Amino acid sequence: MESLQNHLKQFMNSKGFRETYLNLKQQIKSDKDVRLFLEKHKDQIDENMIDRSLGKLYEFVTQSKFCRECRNLDECKNILKGYHPTLIIERKTIDLKYDKCPRKEAYDARKKQESLIKCMYVPKEILNAHLEDIDLNEPNRLKAVSLVQDFVEQYGQNDRLKGLYLYGSFGVGKTFILGAIANELAEKGVPSMLVYVPEFVRELKSALQDHSLNEKIDAVKKIPVLMLDDIGAESMSSWMRDDILGSILQFRMLENLPTFFTSNFNFSELEHHLTYSQKGEIEQLKAKRIMERIRFLAIPVELKGKNRRQE
Ligand code: ADP
Ligand code: MG
């Protein structure tokens, strides 16, 4: 043992080792970030401390800081992926503290935001929609966007907030606006759910006894902000209209849970659609009852404009 220690001592005192060591130390000390740190804390740091902490300083200079050397999170070269080091002084030595790098921060924020928005049968791509992308020169966009902004601003303060009933023809951007609303809300930390009504109705019809469907209905009832996309494009039995849609809307009215709709129909066209059940019977009173709930929950805004779908 002693001879090994002697050997090490000799080696460390040898000219070759000293030179390499001093060179490395010089290189580390001339790193821009290290220089700034040493300058800032010059009252607390002496050469001894630098020698003691050279391993940490070496680790620091070899790591990427502020994502300067990585193009994306996957390419992060740091020991802890997504974390970058800062130099600190702890108990008379220089140490490192690892924090989330800007890309990891942005990635986590995006993931958190996505987790707040649930989509049922609505493609997730719609979540790339943002309010800023809406052309305010098109008819009624300014009205719709300012109502959305008021909504987002007042959410959480006013517990009797109405949603919007966006109606207009195919391809004018109704669903796109719902996606933008969901994003605005997620930025505020508010969970929402977009449901494509025709598919929801189809699935409920084909699997009445399925427990997962009961869970889905429950989730739709209780989500803080619900968006029913394309109501009126489904074919609805009286059971679906009264027992499912009716009870979802009733619950949301009583609990003051904001609800948005999009439709190709205006209110009176939708009432007409809901009046004729699949069996062809006319049930005006029941349709009127659903319409009362929709009117209570949402402000109608008509959207006109060109069909943006390229098909
Ligand atoms: P609607 O629901 O009224 O039928 P969509 O919202 O599906 O219409 O819009 C039709 C197409 O146009 C979609 O591909 C959508 O992404 C696109 N779109 C709609 N509004 C905008 C917008 N403001 N900026 C860019 N693309 C848009
Ligand atoms: Mg749509």
CATH number at residue 121: 3.40.50.300
How far apart CA 279 and CA 271 sit, in angstroms, is 16
pLDDT, tens digit (0-9, with 9 covering 90-100), for 12-54: 788 888 888 899 999 999 999 999 999 999 999 999 999 999 9
Question: Using 50, 70 and 90 to split pLDDT, how confident is the model at 2?
Answer: low
Do 49 and 172 lie in a common domain?
A: no
The pLDDT value given to residue 263? 98
Per the listing, tokens 């080696």 go with 11
Q: What mean pLDDT is reported for the chain?
A: 91
Q: How many domains does the chain have?
A: 2
Q: Whose CA is nearest to atom 5 of ligand 1?
A: 173
Please name the residue whose Cα sits nearest to atom 25 of ligand 1.
Answer: 133
Domain boundary pick from 74, 104, 134: 104
206: which residues sit within 8 A by CB, 6+ positions away? none
Last residue of a domain, one of 69, 104, 139: 104
Neighbours of ion ligand 2 (CB under 5 A): 174-175
Q: Based on the fold, state whether residues 178 and 274 are members of the same structural domain.
A: yes
111 within a domain of the structure (yes/no): no
Tell whether ligand 1 has an atom less than 6 A from the beta carbon of residue 163.
no
pTM: 0.76
CA of 152 to the centre of ligand 1 (A): 21
Q: In this predicted structure, what is the pLDDT of residue 82?
A: 95
- Using the 3D structure, point to which of 104, 125, 142 is the last residue of a domain: 104
Domain residue limits at 17? 2-104
Residue 198 CA to ligand 1 center (angstroms) comes to 18
Average pLDDT for 173-198: 94
Residue closest by Cα to atom 19 of ligand 1: 173
Gap from CA of 256 to ligand 2 centroid (Å):
25
pLDDT band at 311 (very low <50, low <70, confident <90, very high): low
- Please tell me the number of the ligand nearest to residue 129's CA: 1
Counting beta carbons within 10 angstroms of the beta carbon of residue 198, is it exposed (0 to 12), middle (13 to 18) or buried (19 or more)?
middle
- What value does the mean pLDDT take over residues 101-125? 88
